[in-house]
Amino acid sequence: MPKITIKNLFNKTIITSSSNHNIFASIQKENIDWMHACGAKGRCTTCKFIVLDGLENISSETDKEIKFRNLNKLALNERLACQCSAIDDITILVPENGKMPHMKYSE
């Protein structure tokens, strides 16, 4: 099963139960608070993460991600957690503007 490592959450690792689960669902299943202003419908970019390793191990971009990329709201190394799934191991980072005020993050 693919492993998601969140580097600046003290290297928290999540073993996804299915590659059909989007990354946001996998994160939620672990009870980790994660921004999702539009309710995980692909209409905002608050759930985005930065990919440090394994960009090729993430499912293809959705039309919604491509739309935000074309609007310069999603960099080439960023993906929307609610729109993609891990097909193999990845290491990600919570972006500064995605950090929850009540949570502690590491470097």
Contact 27, 16 (CB under 8 A): no
Residue 25: HSE in the Cβ half-sphere, 13 Å Cα cutoff: 12
DSSP label at 52? E
Among residue numbers 64 through 93, which ones bind ligand FES (CB under 6 A)? 80, 82
The single residue among 36, 57, 90, 93 that binds ligand FES, judged by CB under 6 A, is: 36
Instruction: Provide, rounded to whole angstroms, the least separation between the CB of residue 69 and ligand FES.
Output: 13
Piece in contact with ligand FES (CB under 6 A), picked from 34-42, 71-79, 85-93, 98-106: 34-42
Burial of 10 (0-12, 13-18, 19+ CB in 10 A): exposed
Least distance from ligand FES to the Cβ atom of residue 52, Å:
19
Alpha-carbon distance of 5 to 43, in angstroms, equals: 25
Binding positions for ligand FES, 38-57, rule CB under 6 A: 38, 40, 42-47
**DSSP code at position 97:** G
Rule CB under 6 A: which residues touch ligand FES?
36-38, 40, 42-47, 80, 82
